[in-house]
């Protein structure tokens, strides 16, 4: 009898499992030594009479009742036992095994039908573990008989599989008694393709598979190298290095198979072994949906509640529908893609994402879209170009018309943006005239629908303006690179800064003017004494400063941290926050002069003569600045629009609370716009039940990490967890470097801000955070330097830092976890490098 090994397996039918193990062994993967008893070898010991009996019994399976399967199973196994015991099978098997080394072995099946897409036969055949050499023949017989077990026969009949007689091979492998074992899925079998799942338990892998030991399940996000785990009571933990080694092994095996795989593994005395590997048959490998939070995370960091998301979805659908109609000019084409417009954004685990796969589809109708898309990706800060979906199919004539429409609109962007600003003033006036706190919900929804219709009529021009700003900035950068101008990135930043009248700067300038008025009117002590909402309301109702503060709230009261979330408390909805911000300036009056001195130096940058005298570069920079200026202006208008919507739905919440439909006014944010419009048709108490369930969901979501990108095989889905712990794999040796976006070199202490609502003191420090939104202007103005994990040349951080003349670097991966509070660093915003250093003792 000949046993198959690594050198002789090729070209022999030994079943998929053995075939894979030999291939992996040959490729250098850590597979324990094994031999295989081929099915053909086993068949050679079966006489013709026994083979005929087995074949006849298998034929009967097609006709018998369910209750007779058990008897057929016993008969088949008995025929096989009797046949092999009367042959030389056992004696020759013992002789073949005489040279096998190792105290213990595992004996398991390897069938041609196993682990296929149609039939996995998972757990159907017997596996014998911890078998001593003398008992291997009996274990082999038991494994062979399991191909005729009743459960296997039922499975074959259910799957309509023709069970070929004696087609089972048997693997005899050195047994590894691991301290920890488990299963690694290189992609989440639920369909989340860039998340690996690891299930581990103490002891051997069969205990994990059969749920006989407590386990811990790790969920590892491949893109961000973040993980969280759910631990059963008594479940083991592995350290970060073990997790990394597992993930790396999984990546190598997935590459070997050219698809996602699940891997059975074990650790013995620090050595990782592969016991089995097979494709995940439930996954096709096709990508259906890609979500990305580049850029949008600046507007919607952290959790966003359902009401906000439903408004975001309506707004994006309306704006993109408008852009598509402006470009294509064909109602039929627009109607054919109506569902696409509502799929521009998505919300998963309470976080808002771009459904980036659909953005590529819409961008495909733009002229020169293959050249435009890389610039668009760079300006949005998209780190990985997503798989492009099939573009919108247009006839040749329609595509020419579309290109003409887009180009015509593109060059009219500045004029139309000015018109949009004027139209918005009329919309704001309409709201002020019609809104009051006695409105019924019906009146609120009527006003909401009217405002939405008027806003969305031409708001799509802001998307073309974004493209206008992106392209001219990108072209400027590339033009200087082509001319081989030294430090071209730094000079690009200089050329698109110093706009002075940027809309995003107006709230901070007006706030400082307000602080100066308080000082000149001798109201410092009175303002500092305001500590409650009631005191704030009283102060606002009287005096010169109170009137000035009311004017500020009217103009800029909606500018706030996380201002595009309807659930956010802004200066307008909570005036006490305005007093707290002013109190910062009143405690440190020198802050009032810092911005003025920075503005004075904004235009004093010395540019190379080759740049100053170049008309083409000057023209590109002017157009880029114009696009940026209009972009920031529309963002301020957008915050005002969200302020109107916030007021409207807060009124709905107050009405519903009065009617005892909801418990608290803020509960309204846990329902969607559609639900609120239909809430009168619900049964009594239904709203409270839904809100309670969603609050529970959001408590679970709050435990989950925020991911930059999610890749699904089909559609996106939420996760629901009970109690988890999380971590991140960080390479502490890597260089801290990002994209320089506001030039300068500063040294100072770091202040890391995870939650801007904590009102951290950033004065004179280098602010480090994941990302910023327009409302961060109040924190940024006090900082000495700025470092963010997210961002691009045209992100809010970049634009405001340039105007404030504060050195800034964006896109520094993991910087909030690599640096520590109060650590001293040198921030070089010319090269993008951040260097750790010892504190400057002389400065104290």
- Burial label for 37, CB within 10 Å (0-12, 13-18, 19+), is buried
- Do 111 and 49 belong to one domain? yes
Q: Is 781 helix (H, G, I), strand (E, B) or coil?
A: coil
CATH at 818: 3.50.30.10
User: Looking at the structure, do residues 495 and 513 belong to the same domain, yes or no?
Assistant: no
Contacts of 299 (CB under 8 A, 6+ apart): 352, 564, 773
Neighbours of 599 (CB within 10 A): 16
Q: Which of 154, 175, 196 is the last residue of a domain?
A: 175
Same domain (yes/no): 33, 47: yes
Asked if residue 429 is part of any domain, the answer here is: yes
Q: Quote the CA–CA distance of 787 and 770 in Å, as a whole number.
A: 8
**What φ, ψ does residue 290 adopt, rounded to 5°?**
-120, 125
459 and 671 Cβ atoms separated by less than 8 Å: no
Nearest to 646 by CA among 550, 576, 567, 577: 567
Determine, yes or no, domain membership for 808: yes
**Backbone phi, psi, residue 98, to 5°:** -60, -25
Residue 278 pairs in a beta bridge with 262
Q: Measured on CA atoms in the order 105, 106, 112, 115, is the torsion positive or negative?
A: negative
What are the start-end ranges of the E strands in 713-837? 725-728, 736-737, 739-742, 745-753, 766-769, 785-788, 808-810, 824-828, 833-836
Token pair, residue 685, equals 């108490």
Q: Is residue 473 part of a domain?
A: yes
Pairwise CA distance, residues 130 & 103, whole Å: 9
Residues 31 and 142 in one domain: yes
- Calpha distance 452→320 (Å, rounded): 14
CA distances from 586 to 527, 528, 574 (A): 9, 8, 20
Query: So what's the pLDDT on residue 844?
Result: 43
**What's 53's domain CATH number?**
3.30.1490.20
Residue 182 lies in a domain: no
Q: How many CB atoms lie within 10 A of CB 675?
A: 17
What is the pLDDT at residue 600?
Answer: 43
Contacts of 188 (CB under 8 A, 6+ apart): 195, 196, 197, 219
43 lies in the same domain as 155: yes
- The reply to whether 725 falls in a domain is no
Whether 515 and 653 share a structural domain: no
The answer to the question of residue 80 being in a domain is yes
Which of the residues in the chain have pLDDT under 70? 113-123, 163-166, 379, 386-394, 498-501, 590-610, 612, 758-760, 839-844
pTM score over 0.95: no
The last residue of a domain, from among 147, 175, 203? 175
Residue 393 in domain: no
Tell me the residue ranges of DSSP E strands in 73-134.
Answer: 105-111, 128-131
740 and 814 inside one domain: yes
Cβ–Cβ under 8 Å, residues 788 and 807: no
For residue 390, count CB atoms less than 10 angstroms from its CB and return exposed for 0-12, middle for 13-18, buried for 19 or more: exposed
* Run of H or E including 292: strand 289-292
- Examine the domain organization and report whether 421 and 514 are in the same domain: no
| CA-CA-CA-CA dihedral for 511, 512, 518, 521, to nearest 10 | -120
H-only helix segments in 385-460? 396-411, 413-434, 441-456
Beta bridge partners of 748: 825
> Which tokens belong to 177?
């008694």
Which of 653, 648, 671 is closest to 663 using CA atoms?
Answer: 653
Co-location of 431 and 509 in the same domain: no
- Domain range spanning residue 626? 412-499+608-659
Rounded to 5°, angle at Cα 692 from 690 and 695? 110
> Could you write out the three-class secondary structure of 596-643?
HHHHHCCCCCCCCHHHHCCHHHHHHHHHHHHHHHHHHHHHHHHHHHHH
| 25 within 8 A of 7, measured Cβ to Cβ | no
CB 80 within 8 A of CB 58: no
Residue 609 has what pLDDT? 67
**Do the Cβ atoms of 803 and 505 come closer than 8 Å?**
yes
Element (H, E) at 307: helix 306-328
Instruction: Mark whether 597 and 520 lie in a shared domain.
Output: yes
Asked whether residue 192 is domain-assigned, the answer is no
The secondary structure of 175-242 as a DSSP string is ----SEEEEEESSBTTTBTTEEEEEEEES-HHHHHTT-S-EEEEEEETTTTEEEEEE-TT-----HHH
Q: Are 110 and 16 in contact (CB under 8 A)?
A: yes
Using only the alpha carbons of the chain, give its radius of gyration.
34
Mean pLDDT of the chain: 87
Give the CA-trace dihedral at 309, 311, 316, 319, to 10 degrees: -170
Quote the DSSP letter at residue 765. S
Distance CA 638, CA 563 (A): 9
Same domain flag for 548 and 643 = no
Summarize the chain as % helix, strand, coil (round to 5): 50, 15, 35
Output the pLDDT for position 604: 46
Would you give the DSSP letter of residue 723?
A: S
How many angstroms separate the CA atoms of 550 and 559, rounded? 14
Task: Point out the domain boundary residue: 153, 175, 197.
Answer: 175
Cα–Cα dist 24/556, whole Å: 64
DSSP string, 33-57: PEEEE-HHHHHTTS-HHHHHHHHHH
Q: Are residues 515 and 494 in the same domain?
A: no
> For the chain, how many structural domains are there in total?
4
Q: Which residues pair with 80 in a beta bridge?
A: none
């Amino acid at each position: 009898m000949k046993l198959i090994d690594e050198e002789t397996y090729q070209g022999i039918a030994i079943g998929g499992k053995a075939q894979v193990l030999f291939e992996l062994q040959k490729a250098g993967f850590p597979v324990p030594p094994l031999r295989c008893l081929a099915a053909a070898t086993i068949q050679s010991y079966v006489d013709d009479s026994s083979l005929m009996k087995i074949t006849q019994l298998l034929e009967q399976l097609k006709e018998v009742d369910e209750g007779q399967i058990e008897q057929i199973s016993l008969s088949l196994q008995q025929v096989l036992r009797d046949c092999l015991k009367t042959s030389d099978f056992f004696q020759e098997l013992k002789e073949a095994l005489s040279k096998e080394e190792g105290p213990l072995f595992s004996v398991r099946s390897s069938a041609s039908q196993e682990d296929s897409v149609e039939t996995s036969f998972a757990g159907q055949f017997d596996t014998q573990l911890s078998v001593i050499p003398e008992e291997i023949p009996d274990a082999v017989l038991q494994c062979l008989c399991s191909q005729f077990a009743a459960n296997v026969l039922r499975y074959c009949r259910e799957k309509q599989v023709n069970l070929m007689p004696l087609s089972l091979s048997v693997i005899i492998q050195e047994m590894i008694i691991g301290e920890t074992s488990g299963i690694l899925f290189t992609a989440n079998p639920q369909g989340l393709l860039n998340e690996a799942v690891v299930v581990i338990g103490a002891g051997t892998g069969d205990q994990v598979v059969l749920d006989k030991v407590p386990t811990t399940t790790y969920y590892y996000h491949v893109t961000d190298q973040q993980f969280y785990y759910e631990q059963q009571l008594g479940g083991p933990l592995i350290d970060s290095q073990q997790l990394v080694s597992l993930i790396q092994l999984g990546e190598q095996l997935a590459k070997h198979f050219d698809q996602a795989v699940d891997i059975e593994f074990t650790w013995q005395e620090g050595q990782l072994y592969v016991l089995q590997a097979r494709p995940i048959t439930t996954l096709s490998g096709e990508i259906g949906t890609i979500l990305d939070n580049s850029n949008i995370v600046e507007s919607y960091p952290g959790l966003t509640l359902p009401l906000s998301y439903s408004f975001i979805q309506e707004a994006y659908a309306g704006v993109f529908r408008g852009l598509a109609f402006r470009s294509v000019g064909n109602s039929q084409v627009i109607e054919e893609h109506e569902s696409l417009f509502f799929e521009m954004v998505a919300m998963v685990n309470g976080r808002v994402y771009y459904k980036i796969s659909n953005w590529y589809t819409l961008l495909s109708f733009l002229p020169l879209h293959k050249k435009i898309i890389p610039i668009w990706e760079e300006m949005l800060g998209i780190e990985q170009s997503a798989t492009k979906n099939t573009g919108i199919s247009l006839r040749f004539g329609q595509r020419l018309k579309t290109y003409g429409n887009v180009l015509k609109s593109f060059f009219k962007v500045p004029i139309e943006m000015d018109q949009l600003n004027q139209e918005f003033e009329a919309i704001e006036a309409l709201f002020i005239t019609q809104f009051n706190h006695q409105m019924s919900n019906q009146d609120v929804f009527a006003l909401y629908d009217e405002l939405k219709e008027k806003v969305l009529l031409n708001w799509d021009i802001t998307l073309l303006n974004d493209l206008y700003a992106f392209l001219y900035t990108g072209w400027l950068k590339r033009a200087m690179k082509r001319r081989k101008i030294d430090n071209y990135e730094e000079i690009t930043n200089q050329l698109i800064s110093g706009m002075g009248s940027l809309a995003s700067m107006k709230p901070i300038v007006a706030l400082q003017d307000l602080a100066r008025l308080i000082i000149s009117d001798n109201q410092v002590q009175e303002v500092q004494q305001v500590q409650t909402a009631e005191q704030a309301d009283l102060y606002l109702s009287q005096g010169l400063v109170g009137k000035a503060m009311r004017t500020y709230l009217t103009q800029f009261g909606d500018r706030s941290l996380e201002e595009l979330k309807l659930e956010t408390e802004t200066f307008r909805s909570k005036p006490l926050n305005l007093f707290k911000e002013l109190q910062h300036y009143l405690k440190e009056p020198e802050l009032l002069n810092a911005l003025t001195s920075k503005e004075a130096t904004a235009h004093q940058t010395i540019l190379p003569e080759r740049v100053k005298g170049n008309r083409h570069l000057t023209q590109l920079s002017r157009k880029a600045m114009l696009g940026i200026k209009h972009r920031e202006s529309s963002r301020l208008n957008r915050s005002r629009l969200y302020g109107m919507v916030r007021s409207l739905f807060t009124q709905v919440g107050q009405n519903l609370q009065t009617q005892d439909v909801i418990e608290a006014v803020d509960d309204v944010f846990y329902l969607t716009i559609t639900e609120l419009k239909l809430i009168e048709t619900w049964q009594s108490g239904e709203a409270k039940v839904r809100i309670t369930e969603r609050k529970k969901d959001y408590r679970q979501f709050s435990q989950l990490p925020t991911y930059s990108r999610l890749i699904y095989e089909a559609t996106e889905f939420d996760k629901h967890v009970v109690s988890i712990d999380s971590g991140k794999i960080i390479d502490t040796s890597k260089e801290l470097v990002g994209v320089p976006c506001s030039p300068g070199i500063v040294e100072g202490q770091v202040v890391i801000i995870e939650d801007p609502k904590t009102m951290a003191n950033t004065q004179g420090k280098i602010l480090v955070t994941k990302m910023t939104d327009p409302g961060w202007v109040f924190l940024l103005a006090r900082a000495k330097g700025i470092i963010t994990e997210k961002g691009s040349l045209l992100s809010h951080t970049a634009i405001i830092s340039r105007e404030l003349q504060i050195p800034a670097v964006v896109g520094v991966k993991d910087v909030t976890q690599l640096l520590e509070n109060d650590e001293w660093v040198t921030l070089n915003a010319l090269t993008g490098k951040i260097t750790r250093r010892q504190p400057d003792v002389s400065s104290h």
